Amino acid sequence: MPTNTERTNRVNAKVTQAESAVVEDRPTTRRICIHSVREIFFLDFLGTLIDRFPQIETKGEILAILYVYQHSCDLRNGQSVRITWDEFCNGRKRDDGSRFDHGTSLSLNTIRDGVDLAIKHGFLIQQADMSGDLGRQSYIYRLTDAMIGERHAR
C-alpha cells in the first residue's frame, strides 16, 4: 500500500503534467500579470470587508461602501470622490444626461442611513464639498485607511 508521501508525489506529478500541457497550448508571447495594483487594492479591501462584515447592519450600508469603492477605485485610483445623494440613488451622470450606472437603486432615506452607519462604523470618511453649488448638497467620500490596507494609505 502506498504511503502518503508516495500518493502526494504521484498527485504532484499529474498536476505538473497537466500544467505543462496547458502551458504548451497557450502562445508564449502572452503573459498575464496576476498582481496588478488594482487587484492587490481589491484583495486588501475585500479581506478587510469580510473581516468586518459582522459590523454591517443594513443593505444600505454595504451598498454605500461598495458604491464608494467602485467609484474611488475605478475613477480615481483609490482617492476621494465627490458623490451627490442623487448619484448614490440613481447613478452617476454623463455630460449628456445619461447615466454611467444605476447607483444603489435604494431610496434616499435608506442610502442616507446607510452612509451614516458606514461612517459611524469606520468604513467611510465624509467631507463637505464647498466648491460647487451650495444649493445642491454633495460630499467627498473615501474609504478609511483601515479599509484599504496600510500599503495604500495616503
- Residue 147 forms part of a structural domain: yes
16 domain residue, yes or no: no
Q: What is the pTM of this model?
A: 0.67
Instruction: Answer yes or no: is 2 within a domain.
Output: no
The DSSP output letter for 137 is -
**Does residue 51 lie within any of the structural domains?**
yes
Whichever domain contains 63, its CATH number is: 1.10.10
For the chain, what is the domain count?
A: 1
- Buried b / exposed e over 14-28, threshold 16 CB at 10 Å, is eeeeeeeeeeeeeee
Provide CB contacts within 8 A for 59, sequence distance 6+: 106, 110, 114
List the domain range (segments joined by +) for residue 63.
37-152
59: number of Cβ within 10 Å: 13
pLDDT bracket for residue 106 (50, 70, 90): very high
Asked whether residue 92 is domain-assigned, the answer is: yes
Q: Quick: pLDDT tens for 49-105.
A: 888 889 999 999 999 999 988 888 765 455 788 888 888 999 888 888 888 888 888
1, part of any domain:
no
The answer to whether residue 27 is domain-embedded is no
Answer whether 108's CB lies under 8 Å from 124's CB: no
Whether 29 is covered by a domain: the verdict is: no
